[in-house]
Amino acid sequence: MDLEGPESYVQVGRQSPYPEEFRKDAVALYRAAGGKRTYAAVAAELGITGETLRTWVRKDTAQHTSENRVGGAGQSARCR
């Protein structure tokens, strides 16, 4: 059994029942509130749990942080 190559990718865990666009819109809605609304309040409006929304926001933040680190040297030089 060959485990090399693109066909060797195995997804661990279960796939989210929510489309990617819905998750992105939920995160954007929470962030647009600018800290004036809780995770629970925004989530209730969307029909999801506050913890689900919190997880999506944390993952999005981590993803953006890691993307910024890739070009971090150039960015810090521009800030000086």
CATH number of the domain that residue 68 is part of: 1.10.10
Domain count, the chain: 1
* CA dihedral sign of residues 10, 15, 20, 23: negative
User: For residue 43, what pLDDT band results from cuts at 50, 70 and 90?
Assistant: very high
Residue among 39, 40, 49 at smallest CA distance from 18 = 49
pLDDT digits (tens, 9 = 90+) for 1-36: 455 555 555 667 888 899 999 999 999 999 999 999
Average pLDDT, the chain: 83
- For residue 80, the model assigns a pLDDT of 47
In a domain, residue 30? The reply is yes
Domain holding 51, by residue range, is 15-72
In a domain, residue 5? The reply is no
d(CA 49, CA 44): 7
Q: Which amino acid does the sequence have at 24?
A: K
When pLDDT is averaged across residues 28-55 and rounded to a whole number, the result is 97
The predicted model scores a pTM of 0.68
